[in-house]
Structure 1
Amino acid sequence: MDYRGADPKKQRKVAEHNAMAQRVADHLNTLIANDPAPMQQYLWHGIARDLGLTTDKVESAVMYGGHNGITIGVTDEGRRAVARYKK
């Protein structure tokens, strides 16, 4: 989310949403980096459970995906991009 106005309530709401979205992205990147499969599927409710969030919040944090989750095709370039998340 993006808000450039001066309203502190709206600034705080956007900052909280962006921090939550970053947690979701970091979690997804960790899952992707540690799964060798070239096609991976993650459901919103599983990510929500892992992070203690609602499924609606998780879905709102991911730009691409369907109603229930996201399917990701992982290329060699994608693997390099998430390498720092590998455990």
Structure 2
Amino acid sequence: MFPDDINAGCFELFDIWCERRAAGPLRHLLRAWPLSNSLTDDWGDLHEALRALRANCRTEISDAEMTTVDDLISAVAVIVFQR
């Protein structure tokens, strides 16, 4: 997954959660996204935000959304830890 794909995935979740007014997941996502400068620290912040979202918002998001979150966590981890 490329950075543009990660950004698109975050935007998709953002759009779904705004429509549904899912404040919990949005609070976690918006803590680190959109990225301000795409440096490693920003990617690390996004990685941590997505992991916190997964841990704290399981009851507020669907299985499909959880799968997207898991995929994003894996993709961001590649950028953060293997650069």
Task: Choose between structure 1 and 2: higher strand proportion.
Answer: 1
Same fold? TM cut 0.5? no
Greater radius of gyration (CA): 1
TM-score normalised over the length of structure 1: 0.31
Task: Choose between structure 1 and 2: higher helix proportion.
Answer: 2
TM-score normalised over the length of structure 2: 0.32
